[in-house]
Amino acid sequence: MSFWSSVFGGANPTLNQSMKQTGQTSTWANTQGQGLMTGAGNFITSLMKGDPKKIAQLLAPQMSAAQKEGQQAKQTMSQFGNRSGGTNAAAQTIDDKSRSAIANMIANLTGSAVGQAGQMGQGLVDTGLRALGMEATMSQQQMENWSNSILGKTLTRATVGS
């Protein structure tokens, strides 16, 4: 930028670059935030409808661990068995405990995971909106710079005087 263009145009290269960067930040954060919020909303809807695929997708590692633990308990029982009978009843109790553990995980983990995604999305949207506000403020400053420049004052006087 030349001296004359800054004198006559009131340009500020730092302000111009900052406006560009905040505009890009605003666009990125809003896009990412909206995507996360939409994804979280769709996932919540699937979970509320009881979609077993979505539930399994979220909790697969924990469900697998609970099932393996149950299988290990059954294997131990078969090797060292209950000598007084009741092995079948004890095995059934193990299955019940595994199912109960999985049900508790579904109840506890589903909401927290989806809630975190929603909060992250909201945070990004908030960041995007703040950046958009900053960009608007900088744009207003740029307009003031132009109107306060030598050329801007000349044009303003010419417009007001006519």
The pLDDT tens digits for 3-35 are 555 555 556 777 778 888 888 888 888 888 888
Q: How many CA atoms lie within 13 A of 141 on its CB side?
A: 14
Confirm whether pTM is higher than 0.75.
Answer: no
End-to-end CA gap in the chain: 32
Whether the Cβ atoms of residue 33 and residue 128 lie closer than 8 Å to each other: yes
Instruction: Note the pLDDT of residue 54.
Output: 79
Whether the Cβ atoms of residue 117 and residue 39 lie closer than 8 Å to each other: yes
Q: Domain ranges in the chain?
A: 28-128
